[in-house]
A and B are shown apart, each in its own frame.
Chain A
């Protein structure tokens, strides 16, 4: 009797296995025990709006993954200690020098550990890319108004992530204890010292005594590899949870309203794209690490307080602070029994403090000025909010100028001009360029608003020859994504939405929020 129920031909056997084959059967087994089907279905049907600029945050996410993986590898070999040893390794010019274990182990990672230099360089490049993509992602969120209600909290989380990323980048940069990073710690120590009233206490508390102490490297190590990454990881989770919970924003367009989400489902479209992107980010990082040398600490040598190299700059994301320090006039006075180093306090403490606090408060500030208390799931085109775009552009201009100012000496040497001339030029540019950027951006936005089909892809003309020999150019229709749409979405009755259920493009779906 059982013979009768076992299908013998392959097609019938496949039919008996069910629609999804062996994998479907295995998932069925899982669902019977854990009940994952319902949640899994919702997750796989999660809709992500498609736009290239929505993928910028993913660069940051995946470079963070690379940082974690390569970082774990590096911790296997790095010795976070300031204990002095005599170097007898494979790099001859350092042979017999007194170095700290932190420095020695980093040189050993580069020259002795198999694949160590590649891992070190991938870690460092991934860090540069991580912070860079965070800034680009943040600019996208700012210029499109994605931070507005109800996403103010996620803006705050994201900004905290940026600050933590910069801080952790600095901590990691300091760990090898080489000549360049030691100079960086020295500058940071002085910046902490410059804070009025509490500076000296704070510096002793953070660095465990006077500079250069032996406590710095172990402390920075545990902060760099455990505490800060843990906070970053937690906040990344919160960031993504809020994203899923509040659903992603979308640009206005045909069929897109404040009440719906139009895009690709998690499975199979989005997951394929995003997984591919993970490997692309990893590949680009590995290519950079293979072909471009970064932070060759063996050329710098061990940091000692008596040694100094000229032309020392921090990593790029700290460049704006270094630039501000370099070009700020030497305002220092003595009074009330103390030295008041305003030349350090204003550019290195007050300025970033104001900058980041204004950034935190920006959603509130904008709401106060516009009086806009509505929910916003549709994004702005930057040109349609010229004032906000202009403010963002002028802040970016200011930061870019400060970044350039962090290499005053390199510029002076390269162009054979006086260092003083460069410093003064940068002082003027830092003040002038935001003032130029604002009206320029504002005007460009207004002009762009007036351009029909501005920023759209051109379509080809089909030229045909008629029987009489006449040539006729017929424009082909616009690309689907570029079709003219009403920017302010008209509220549609719900039944019309349900009518247009059929996907207009393969892989695109519309769901309720």
Chain B
């Protein structure tokens, strides 16, 4: 009698403890409530060491870089077109002066774009992330771009013309024929794989942010992302030379975007998860069906 009671009490206590753990954790401090990963006001990424520097008649740098990557400033003749496009597509949030003050709404609710540099503007517009279709999302995702590449360049040109001194980096052109793919593979494993995964498929990160897939990204946008650090991504400036960035871009646009998969179907690059499903469902499942076929039923 008592032993039964004791046994039940112990059992209940064990279940209670087991259930109480998650409850306690639920009530823990929500220390991440004011975390805003979409805040990206990183101004002026600077001009890296360049062997090529071209200035216009008024002494403004319009082209710089080296034999691995050249950065070109969008021509100022596009300013007028860019302003029109900006008013049409961007000003409702970023404001008529691109400083994050919309005509109606609170100041500081949207990023200030002045001085960010043409590459940043070009990347966000040309990858379809801006104009934002889903403002409630924590992180903007890649979409079919609303503006053409030339229009994106025009917007970048106008925004760049607003700042007293021009922002950097400019829009890059990587020269992939000079790149070393093997060095890129090693640099990719060291700098990129921790978020984008070693196969470049991207993955979910904390608090609804994610590292996007690298499977369908043009080479110049990879450079833009590395040099400007969009969203949650770190901005790589000093620690990667233009040559190293060029190597990474080469690796991404060849091996990541067109993997060789000599062993058969690549199974989506999902690694052991997909392999386990195939092994269990196709392998073991098929063999069990064969058992059922050749074996007897009683």
Contacts and interface: CB of A to CB of B under 8 A. Distances in A.
Contacts of B288: 56, 59, 136
A295 B194 CA distance: 18
A93 B181 contact: yes
A76 to B, nearest CB: 20
A244 interface: no
A188 interface: no
Interface stretch (A16-24, A226-234, A313-321, A386-394): A313-321
B279 A125 contact: yes
Contacts of B266: 293, 296
B21 A296 contact: no
A447 B95 CA distance: 68
Contacts of A125: 279, 283
Nearest to B186: A97
Given A56-B291, A253-B298, A300 B198 contact: yes
A273 B294 CA distance: 8
A284 B298 contact: no
B295 A409 contact: no
Contacts of A410: 203-204, 270, 273
A157 B169 CA distance: 66
A313 B271 contact: yes
A276 interface: yes
A97 B185 CA distance: 9
B263 A293 contact: yes
A427 interface: yes
Contact residue range for chain A? 35 or more
Interface in A27-65: 50-56, 58-59
B193 A310 contact: yes
Contact of B267 (A292, A306, A308, A427): A292
A272 to B, nearest CB: 10
Given A52-B292, A52-B295, A121-B264, A288 B282 contact: yes
Contact of B278 (A288, A308, A427): A288
Contact of A293 (B181, B267, B290, B295): B267
A132 interface: yes
A307 B190 contact: yes
B195 interface: yes
B145 interface: no
Given A51-B298, A121-B263, A280-B287, A301 B279 contact: no
Given A97-B185, A179-B193, A132 B265 contact: no
A50 B298 contact: yes
A253 B264 CA distance: 47
Contact of A280 (B189, B279, B290): B290
B287 A133 contact: yes
Interface of A is mostly: helix
Contacts of A300: 198
Contacts of A276: 294
A180 B298 CA distance: 46
B251 A481 contact: no
Contacts of A273: 294
Interface in B158-213: 181-186, 189-190, 193-199, 201-208, 210-211
Contacts of A94: 182, 185
A180 B275 CA distance: 14
Contact of B272 (A284, A315, A409, A457): A315
A164 to B, nearest CB: 19
Contacts of A251: 298
B283 A284 contact: yes
B198 A309 contact: yes
A87 B297 CA distance: 56
A366 interface: no
A192 to B, nearest CB: 21
A17 B5 CA distance: 80
A403 B275 CA distance: 13
A312 interface: yes
B262 interface: yes
A95 interface: yes
Interface stretch (A2-10, A204-212, A411-419): A411-419
A248 to B, nearest CB: 13
Given A273-B294, A277-B290, A59 B284 contact: yes
Contacts of A358: none
B182 A96 contact: yes
Interface in B89-104: none
Contact of A413 (B198, B203, B265, B280): B203
B88 interface: no
A168 interface: no
Contacts of A301: 185-186, 189, 198
A281 interface: yes
A418 B137 CA distance: 11
Given A132-B284, A288-B282, A117 B298 contact: no
Nearest to A299: B199
B19 interface: yes
A284 B203 contact: no
A316 B208 contact: no
Interface of B: 18-19, 21-22, 25, 181-186, 189-190, 193-199, 201-208, 210-211, 251, 254-255, 259, 261-267, 270-273, 275-280, 282-284, 286-288, 290-298
16 contacts: A51-B297, A52-B292, A52-B294, A59-B291, A92-B182, A129-B283, A277-B291, A291-B264, A292-B263, A292-B282, A307-B189, A315-B276, A413-B204, A417-B208, A419-B205, A419-B208
Interface of A: 50-56, 58-59, 92-97, 110-111, 117, 121, 125, 128-129, 132-133, 136, 179-180, 250-251, 253, 273, 276-277, 280-281, 284-285, 288-296, 299-301, 304, 306-316, 319, 329, 331, 403, 406-407, 409-410, 412-413, 416-420, 422, 427-428, 431, 457, 481-482
- List 9 A-B pairs, minimum CB-CB distance, nearest first: A316-B276, A52-B295, A128-B279, A293-B263, A412-B204, A50-B296, A309-B198, A132-B284, A413-B204
